[in-house]
Amino acid sequence: MNVAPTISITEPDGVNDMADTFYTIRWTDADPDDNALVSLYYDSDDTGYDGTEIVTGLSEDNPAATYLWNISGMLEDSYYIYGVIADGVNPPDSDYSDGPLTIEHAPTPDTTPPAQITDLATGSPTTNSFTLIWTAPGDDGNSGTAAAYDIRYSTSAITGANWTSATRVTGEPVPQAAGMVQSLTVGGLASGTTYYFRMTASDEAPNVSALSNEAIGTTYSAANPPVQVVVSSSQPAGGYFWLEVNVGNAGNPVEDLFGISFVVEPEPSGLLTVEEIVVDTTETTGLLGQGLSAAQRAELISTEEILQGGDEARVGLSRRRQHGNLAGGYGRVARVLYHLSPGATVAGSVSFNLTGLSAYRMDGTPVNLSVQGAQITVGQIEVWPGDTDNNGVVNELDILPVANYWLSTETARAAGYPSQAKGGCQRDISVSAPGRALSLNQEDDYTQVIAKCGVKNLR
């Protein structure tokens, strides 16, 4: 008589049976007549023998009667184990475990730091403070919300090597959700001093982001009112932007000013073209028009000239003797409309400085001012085949300039654009310091850019 095989699952038994990646199933079996085979299954309950196969074909002659089950890919849950033994002669024998195995996986380590902050900028300088502005990164790259900021400053350039020795600011704000614009006023600074700022963001792990871009600014001099070159907050699209020249501020107004003249000079040259110069003679925003009637403001003497080379602007503005000096105030002297020059294909920074600055009282004595220039980052522009003057239209005006671009190389337009070549639009003109972060091709400018360039898929 052939004796039927038997099996009994001993582990799991429902007592502290929890695992993450591997679990050892144990059982006892017997088959004195034949070499029976054992199969193991997992099930959501302990009835029906209708579970999912773990392994089959194990020999009941194996004295260990164990199986190491890799559960790293199993969903977290509780599972009963049952075994089936068969000798091919007698009916199979089956048995469920007395209790379930609970699978719980350890959390995946967070190794992704917040994204690098790339638009840190200084703004609203006073004699002892700046307002820093930046866009919040996420917890993982640009997703989620970071846990903390570390913002530091120095009177010399900050690098990874000297980061820890830079002064850490106090009162850093709690990070907002990725993409939100945040700011912080840093006080207690020395007047008339150039400061360098950088920052990092960290998550709860903590993973720390790469150092941000470096924002640079100079506090106003306590002795001399500032002359500041800034990028206007109102910008047209398509590679155009306004520069403003402002004198004085609320905390440090200019006194006894009668006239002023200067040249706005970009460095390096050749990337930009002056399109328009507007001397401000209004009462509300103009400096030397303050305190005068409309008729008197009409008598102000002004001069504006685009100098040879096309990227420098000469400005002069003066009261008349019957107006007297400006008793005290601050405001704008002039605005200069710049355009990224057609054919300018090199991305980089452009600094704006005032040269030949002359400020004087009615009696001819000088008024001392502190000059603070602006710096912008000019992004790469695209010149696509056919549009030789890069104005966004392929027409008869492209015939003569073709010699200037003969055999030149630029970024190819992407597949899927219309067969008629269209002009590539300038991208990413932004303020780095001082002032606020600015992008000319943000969403609110797309309509104007598309109208100008016929582009339906800006990058």
Give the helix, strand, coil percentages of the chain, each rounded to 5.
5, 40, 55
Task: Give counts: helices (H), strands (E), the chain.
Answer: 3, 27
- pLDDT on residue 272: 86
DSSP string, 83-128: EEEE-SSSPPEEEE-SSPEEE-PPPPP--PPBPPP---EEES--SS
pTM given for the model: 0.43
Alpha helices for 245-348 (secondary structure H) = 294-297
Q: Name the 3-class secondary structure at 448.
A: helix
For the chain, state the CA radius of gyration: 37
d(CA 374, CA 216): 10
- pLDDT on residue 393: 58
- pLDDT on residue 448: 40
The residue type at 391: N
- pLDDT on residue 419: 34
- pLDDT on residue 142: 93
Instruction: Tell me which H or E stretch contains 389.
Output: none
| β-strand partners of 378 | 348
> pLDDT in tens for each of the 459 residues of the chain?
788 999 999 999 989 999 999 999 999 999 988 789 999 999 999 999 999 999 999 998 888 899 999 999 999 999 999 999 999 899 999 999 999 999 999 888 888 999 999 999 998 787 789 899 999 999 999 999 999 999 999 999 999 999 999 999 999 999 999 999 999 999 999 988 999 999 999 999 899 999 999 999 888 776 688 888 887 655 555 678 889 999 988 878 898 999 999 999 988 887 888 999 999 988 888 999 999 999 999 999 999 999 978 899 999 999 999 999 998 899 999 999 988 766 555 456 678 888 889 999 999 888 888 887 776 665 544 444 555 555 555 666 666 555 555 565 555 544 443 333 333 443 333 333 333 333 333 333 333 433 333 333 332
Structural domains of the chain, with CATH: 6-103 (2.60.40.10), 121-218 (2.60.40.10), 226-375 (2.60.40.680)
- pLDDT on residue 12: 97
Q: Taking a C-beta distance cutoff of 8 angstroms, is the pair 133, 121 a contact?
A: yes
d(CA 248, CA 294): 23
Rounded to 5°, the CA angle 118-124-125 comes to 100
Q: Name the 3-class secondary structure at 209.
A: coil
Name the residue among 58, 59, 81 with its Cα closest to residue 8. 81
Report the C-alpha dihedral over residues 292, 297, 301, 302, rounded to 10 degrees: 120
Characterize the bridge pairing of strands 6-11 and 240-247: unpaired
Q: Which residue has the tokens 């000019």?
A: 378
Max Cα-Cα span within the chain = 133
